[in-house]
Amino acid sequence: MTRAMHFDEIEYGRRQTKVRQAMAARGIDLLVVSDPCNLYYLSGYDAWSFYVPQVLLLGIEDRPVWIGRAMDAAGAAITTRLPADDIRAYGDEYVQSATRHPVDFIVEEIKARGWRSARIGLEIGNYYLGARAYLAFADAFASDKIVDASLLVNWVRSVKSPAELDYMRQAARIVEGAMQAAYDIIRPGVRECDAAAEIYRALIGGTAEYGGNYASSPPLMPSGDQVHTPHLSWTDQPYRPGAQVNLELVASRHRYHTPLGRSVLLGEASPEMRRLEAALCDGIEAALAFIRPGVTAAEIDATWQAAAGRHGIQKAARCGYSIGIAYPPTFGEQTISIRPGDQTVMQPGMTLHLMPAVWLGSESLVMTEPFVVTDEGAECLCRFPRRLEVIR
């Protein structure tokens, strides 16, 4: 019982080899992968099952081993190429129990497979390895045998293969369609929730050639009195004449996420809004023209800040971050940040979200561009008009 894999065995082999090389450089014998993004990256496992502990055991030489809830073992067989002996499941007596924990089962499996004395890398800092799970590992193994390997796989993932980039470009086509759907429906009198429904339809329906998956973030689309702060979403209230809507949308294609941000104004733009628009557009254009292999994330930030600064605009928060595979609650890879001090050197195949949106208290504007670093510079993943959309 299998389904078409999104990547071939050669690609998975390359990924595992790169991760093993990073493990060896850190002196790690066994990596316990708990971030669902990294399980997917290394094996293809894909299910809404990350609310309970699930891991992939990756040794320096041994075959990967999936361990998860018994009812999800069939999903592992469907979405991966792992043989049956390397799909191990714990029973429901371990699930949300006060007397036992799935890590107890995982620890016994680790020991049974000969890793009792291994130096073990744990993704301690990710969202999915809870404190109780960590304490169970710490209780089972000596402290000098546990290594914090939180972002080891994430950094390997930061450079995408051509096949991965194809999916991100497809996600770009989907998010463009969703943004256009937002432009088409947002009008005075339309309820915000009805606009959100149309956006969701476009994000999941995708294009005639391919559809979308659920994304790691809902559409963020505050308006009216809420528009000058990020990370808020829709209400069931109708849009009012003169309202502004800041749209932060993200599409997912086979778990690869491409975001896009724009602002809509249901009325006339003030001189201050036009100043913000010019600052963001000039900053984005300058940053994209500057990006090439060898420059650092901090230098990209400085380039954007300099161009926007000529309009009197500065941004205190970071101006972007690495993107790719994602599951809730974030679509960032938690590695590269476009901000002062980040000395990460750009390499071909890196994908980032240039996100110089600004919230100034009384004025705000969202204008973003996802891009991939190429051999010559930067390729915008989206092809969507870069302007404040004014709807009268």
- pLDDT tens for 70-91 read 999 999 999 999 999 999 999 9
- pLDDT tens for 167-199 read 999 999 999 999 999 999 999 999 999 999 999
- pLDDT tens for 336-370 read 999 999 999 999 999 999 998 888 877 899 999 99
Are the C-beta atoms of residues 56 and 20 closer than 8 Å to each other?
A: no
Tokens of 238: 């109708």
Domain locations along the chain: 9-157, 162-390
Are the C-beta atoms of residues 14 and 21 closer than 8 Å to each other?
A: no
What pLDDT score does 363 carry?
A: 87
Residue 4 has pLDDT above 90, yes or no: no
At the fourth CATH level, the homologous superfamily of domain 162-390 is: Creatinase/methionine aminopeptidase superfamily (3.90.230.10)
Mean per-residue pLDDT for 372-391? 97
CA distance 260 to 334: 18
Please identify which residue in the block is written with the tokens 């890398």.
121
Residue 272: name the closest of 382, 377, 386, 364 by CA.
Answer: 364
Q: What is the dihedral of CA 56, 59, 60, 63, to 10 degrees?
A: -80
Instruction: Using alpha carbons, list the distances in angstroms from residue 70 to 76, 112, 239, 285.
Output: 10, 19, 47, 51
Please identify which residue in the block is written with the tokens 């505050």.
222
CA distance 354 to 367: 9
Quote the percentage of the chain above a pLDDT of 70: 99
Mean per-residue pLDDT for 217-232? 93
Q: Tell which CATH architecture fits domain 9-157.
A: 3-Layer(aba) Sandwich (3.40)
Burial 260-275 (b: 16+ CB within 10 A, else e): bbbbbbbeebeeebeb
CA distance 273 to 365: 8
What pLDDT score does 53 carry?
A: 95
Q: Is 144 helix (H, G, I), strand (E, B) or coil?
A: helix
What pLDDT score does 361 carry?
A: 75
- pLDDT tens for 128-163 read 998 999 999 999 999 899 999 999 999 999 999 999
Provide the pLDDT confidence category of residue 3 given band limits of 50, 70 and 90.
Answer: low
CA distance 280 to 270: 16
- Output the pTM of the full model: 0.95
What pLDDT score does 2 carry?
A: 54
Report DSSP letters for 63-97, one per residue.
PPEEEEEGGGHHHHHHHS---GGGEEEE-GGGTT-
- pLDDT tens for 21-33 read 999 999 999 999 9
Tell me the pLDDT of the chain averaged across its residues.
95
